[in-house]
Structure 1
Amino acid sequence: MKILSWNVNGIRAVEKRGFIGWVRQESPDVLCLQETKAHPDQLSPELKGPVDTDGKVYRSYWASARKKGYSGTAIYSKTEPLDIKPLGVPEFDDEGRVLQADFKDFVLICAYFPNSQDAGARLDYKLGFCAAMLECCNKLVASGRHLVLCGDYNIAHTPIDLARPKENEGNAGYLPEERAWMDTFTAAGYADTFRDQHPGETGHYSWWSYRMSARERNVGWRLDYHCVDRAFMPRIANSIIRPDVQGSDHCPVQIEVT
């Protein structure tokens, strides 16, 4: 199963940059999107149900923010999940930040973690979301389920996960409290699939500022992840970042589940 996750920074914007053709070409089994910034009734038929190369229409599921043009997540899937639902916490569901899809062998969680913003203006909200997400994951594992938590975490975990760690100390996404939560999360039995397969490797990023030709110079941050419960890690055949894919300030991240 090929699973892709991408913060598209506006689904309608990325549609104009060849998104539908890209989905057809990539043909993922499941595609998770973050920062869709739209409600389903604002979308074209092609966005609601892209068509695969074999003519099969993807099923699509949406979690939209109450505020128009803000946040939001979506899942495209070739097969219908056994169940699909939001996180179940109103303060986060009101911003459309989570979709959970049950795929029999595991639960796939598509998540758009909040940005803690300048001077940590939303840090408490961010940490509340992180705590709720860890509780959700722990409950699933305790019930005997495997899980894949993918999306834009808005956290660069370690110094090798951003190009300029020293210059960004104290900035949103690299705050001590955010990095400490990632420590807590991984210590609780969850694996960062990319880092597990590429330990110590530098220069791998999934987000670049639009300013100062940051992407061309690869001055970026690794903010997008696929994490799994440690017991599920042997099923992850490949975990990669796709900087070749344009259209957003983020690029997709990809795993293959055997």
Structure 2
Amino acid sequence: MKIITLNLNGIRSAWRKGVADFLARENADLVCMQETKAQRPQFSAEMLAPGSCQGFFHDAIKPGYSGVGIYTRRTPDRVVEGLGWADFDAEGRWLQVDFGRLSVVSLYLPSGSSSEARQQVKFSVMERLTPLLRQIRNDGRDWIICGDINIAHKNIDIKNWRGNQKNSGFLPEERAWLDLLFDELGWVDAFRAVNQEPDQYTWWSNRGQAWAKNVGWRIDYQILSSGLRDCVRSARIHTAERFSDHAPLIMEYALPPA
């Protein structure tokens, strides 16, 4: 099974930059998207269902903001939009598709970089997600949670770690939350299960030639329930083309295609 996660920074913008051709070449079983930044009436027919895929989306109420989506080659048994949290769901941040005992999620965690108020929203979402992730880790299902988490976990995951320790996305409280998920709750950072190399980033600022100099952050993840740890076969970050300020994270698993 091949799964791609990608923050599009606008599906219409990414389409203009050639992401549809990339997706066609990769022919993934599932593509988990964040920041679609559109409502469904604004999508072209190809954006709604490219190639042989079906598309499912959870749009934000605010136009041109947030939103998540999933392309899948197989019809899900169930689709879940949101978590029942009014503020969170209004921003279109959780979309889940179920296939048998496997659940795949596209998650877009809020960014706190724009203001202290938004940082507090981010902390609130992290706090509310903790008991949910504690609960579902042992629910008998296999989980793959894909998305833009907006947190670089360790020093290896960010180029300028010394200069960013007081900035949203690398705050001690945020990093400790990922410690909790991976160390105490038993969730698995799928990328690091097979790749321990430095300079592996998925997001670059638009300032200061960050992309050209590879001054990046690894803030896009595929997070697995513990039973899937040994199913990870490969991980790569696609940087040969640029469709967004994020790069596609492409993972392959020893699982039946979804």
Please classify the TM superposition score into its range, dividing by the shorter chain length.
over 0.9
For the 8 Å contact 1:119–1:172, the answer to whether it is kept is no
Residue identity (%): 37
When normalised by structure 2's length, the TM-score is 0.93
Secondary structure at the counterpart of residue 213 of structure 2: coil
Which segment drifts farther, 128-137 or 150-159?
128-137
Contact kept in structure 2, 1:116 and 1:173, CA below 8 Å: yes
Deviation digits for residues 10-34 of structure 1, max 9, x if unmatched? 0011111112222211111100100
Counterpart contact for 1:100–1:109, Cα < 8 Å: yes
- Corresponding letter in the other structure for 1:193: A
TM-score (normalised: structure 1): 0.93
Question: Which runs of 5 or more structure 1 residues have no equivalent in the other structure?
Answer: none
SS in 1 for 2:236: strand
2:23 aligns with: 23
2:69 corresponds, among 56, 67, 74, to: 74
Counterpart CA distance in 1 for 2:98 and 2:241 is 28
Question: What pairs up with 1:85-164 in 2 under 5 angstroms?
Answer: 85=80, 86-118=82-114, 120-164=116-160
- DSSP-derived class of the 1:245 partner: coil
Q: Where do 1:50-61 residues align within 5 Å?
A: 50-51=50-51, 56=52, 58-61=53-56
The alignment's C-alpha RMSD in Å is 1.3
Q: CA deviation at 1:171?
A: 0.8
Q: Distance in 2 between matches of 1:43 and 1:9?
A: 14
1:49 aligns with 2:46: no
CA distance in 2, matches of 1:80, 1:30: 11
Partners of 2:153 and 2:175 within 8 A in 1 = yes
Shift of 1:231: 1.8
| 1:238 aligned residue | 234
Given that residues 194 and 232 in structure 2 are in contact (C-alpha distance below 8 angstroms), is that contact kept between their aligned partners in structure 1?
no
Aligned residues: 252
Structure 1 residue aligned with 2:189: 192
Which of 153, 168, 174 pairs up with 2:170? 174
Paired residue type of 2:16: K
- Residue identity matched to 2:79: I
Name the SS for the 2:199 alignment partner: coil
Take 1:81 and 1:88, find their aligned partners in 2: how far apart are those partners? 20
Contact 2:193/2:232, CA 8 A, preserved across alignment: no
1:118 Cα deviation from its structure 2 partner: 4.5
SS of alignment partner, residue 46 of structure 2: helix
Gaps of 5+ in 2: none
Amino acid at match of 1:18: G
- The one-letter code matched in structure 1 to 2:241 is V
